[in-house]
A and B are shown apart, each in its own frame.
Chain A
Amino acid sequence: MSPARPSSDTPLIDARGLVKRFGDRIAVDGVDVAVHAGEAFGFLGPNGAGKTSTMRMIGCVSPPSGGELTVLGMDPLRDGAAIRARFGVCPQDDHLDPELTTGDNLTTYARYFGISRRDARRRAAELLDFVQLGERAGSKVSTLSGGMKRRLAIARALVNDPDVILLDEPTTGLDPQARHLVWDRLFRLKRRGVTLVVTTHYMDEAEQLCDRLVIMDAGKIVAEGSPPSLIERYCTKDVVELRFGDDALEPYADKLEGIGDRLEVLPDRILLYAADGDTVAPVLYGRDLAPSGVLVRRAGLEDVFLRLTGRTLVED
């Protein structure tokens, strides 16, 4: 029933002009995406950007309202079950049964993929060890911490040994230790050749995990590339953060005119974007500006993100 596995040249996920409407609201507005085998691909965007809606269409649980979508060389509308059989999904809100044990959550889920009871038990034990929950095999999910539940949800996404794993905000709400453990496990999967598709609004997560990503805003893709190429394209190499111990920063901004490529006035500091941050400080003092604090740092994905999606708070 399922066609042969696509070659590495053929995208595993190929979306063209993908649209998702909920009534009058357009959640995804003409998205073009191609994800190849073995890639770690990210959807980066603020809340409400359309990341989860896109993921749910790719995961064949929500039909597209428009555009073309091919997944694993198949049509999601016609071959949804066959596509889902080769996917592992870690949704944003876990979808675990809090009253079952961690082991039962995995074994019952494995059965949905037609895995025998014996293999399901063996696989559950292996996966609980993989996410460092081996000692909690008999614990009810309701007794686990948020980080443990997340790791369990990731383990569950691996129960069918999937070709592609969809992770919707895999580390949101986790403490730093738990986040690093999740990243470590995702790295290991990537090394094994598993294709990862991740949504996140954490820049460090995108930089850590993704070979390539798209930045989404208001349902559209506003930029695409590898994290370094995006920084190179949309930002300078360095960012100089200047503090003046003063609330009124506009007069300082006027005096900074012409230094660096671009500047941005924030409530507590001025950001000066420059190719070489170290050359900025001497110029400042030459203009009779004496900042109370100067921090020169490398530009990151967050600078690109805020430039492209703005600093205005986006509500869901």
Chain B
Amino acid sequence: MAHPSVAVLEYHLVSYRRMWRSTLFSSFAMPVLLFVGVGAAVGEYVDRGDALPVPYLHYIAGGMLAFTGMQVAITESGFPVQSYMTWDKVYHGMAATPVRVADILAGHLLYIALRVAAASAAFLVVMVPFGAVGSAWAVLTPLVAALVGLSVAAPMFAYSASVTGPYLMTVMRFATMVMTFFSGAYFPVDQLREPLSLVAYPLPLWHGVELCRAAALGTGTAWPVAAHVGVLAAWFAGGLALAHPRFVKRLAT
């Protein structure tokens, strides 16, 4: 017999089968267009000054792969979670069966990890013809992106499950904006002056950008790999610790 969390994952996959086309633009076309557009346009300017050891397009590729994963995860853990909890109450339907709250969370997060891995794998394929894959370690980037996805999805679950007002969109935009500009996807964070550069270190995306860039280019990471993975895992664990009791409370009332 399949574990209840696998049954929950199956539900999300069946649901995704109905709407995958509508996600192609946001999960694939948009990041790729951004990558090519910024990489070529800004790259033309940056590469003139030889500011980076590699072409700018190659420099941002790994970071943008991680960024794509973060964006898919934030989107999937925002309104869908709020809807399942508050409007359609799909979670309540699950909670009336042998499925436990931990299974509901595990199945949904597993689905998000798969979505992120698939979107970042597609992005990785696009990177190849642009010569942005310089190392075999690049095959690990979808896994790293999935971990980045989980590290932002778990705390978002906690927030989306408990918020009933109009603040969800604001929080999603704010989180996305901060991580977009302070995670080093487009430029090295040490270009920022302190204390602005310090903003990057606690952000999960910076750790994802460092890992994915290093894997794609075959270079080193700013911190030891275990430290980057550890921070991502800490975000995930902390998010789960917040989300579980909130789910329990909401589903019991």
Residues of chain A whose beta carbon lies under 8 Å from any beta carbon of chain B: 22, 56, 59, 61-63, 80-82, 84-85, 87, 89, 91, 93, 95-100, 104, 107-109, 111-114, 156, 160
Contact = CB atoms under 8 A, between A and B. Distances in A.
7 contacts: A62-B252, A81-B98, A97-B88, A104-B14, A108-B10, A111-B2, A112-B4
Contacts, number: 75
Contact of A91 (B11, B19, B96): B96
Contact of A114 (B90, B92, B98): B98
A55 to B, nearest CB: 10
Given A62-B252, A62-B253, A63-B252, A98 B98 contact: no
B96 A97 contact: no
B100 A81 contact: yes
B226 to A, nearest CB: 37
Contact of A84 (B8, B11, B98): B98
B11 A61 contact: no
A150 to B, nearest CB: 14
A10 to B, nearest CB: 22
Given A112-B4, A112-B94, A22 B253 contact: yes
Contacts of A95: 88-90, 92-93, 96
Contacts of B191: none
Interface of B: 1-2, 4, 7-8, 10-11, 14-15, 18-19, 88-90, 92-100, 251-253
A100 B18 contact: yes
A104 B97 CA distance: 16
A89 to B, nearest CB: 4
B97 to A, nearest CB: 4
Nearest to A140: B18
A91 B88 CA distance: 12
A112 B99 contact: yes
Given A111-B7, A112-B7, A85 B15 contact: no
Select the residue from B11, B14, B93 with max chain A CB neighbours within 10 A: B93
B10 A111 contact: yes
Given A99-B18, A112-B97, 4 more contacts: A61-B92, A99-B19, A113-B98, A156-B93
A85 B10 contact: no
Nearest to A110: B7
A112 B8 contact: yes
A109 B97 contact: yes
A59 B252 contact: no
A178 B51 CA distance: 72
B2 A87 contact: no
B89 A100 contact: no
A97 B7 contact: no
B251 A61 contact: yes
A113 B100 CA distance: 12
Given A61-B251, A63-B252, A113-B98, A100 B93 contact: no
A24 to B, nearest CB: 14
Contacts of A81: 98-100
B88 to A, nearest CB: 6
Nearest to A56: B252
A87 B96 CA distance: 8
A104 B13 CA distance: 11
Given A61-B251, A61-B252, A109-B97, A91 B10 contact: no
Contacts of B88: 95-98
* A-B pairs with lowest CB-CB distance, top 3: A95-B93, A112-B97, A111-B7
Contacts of B4: 112, 114
Contacts of A100: 14-15, 18
B103 to A, nearest CB: 9
Nearest to A83: B98
A61 B95 contact: yes
Nearest to A157: B96
A264 to B, nearest CB: 38
B19 A112 contact: no
B98 A85 contact: yes
A89 B19 contact: no
Contact of B2 (A59, A96, A107, A114): A114
A108 B96 contact: no
A111 B11 contact: yes
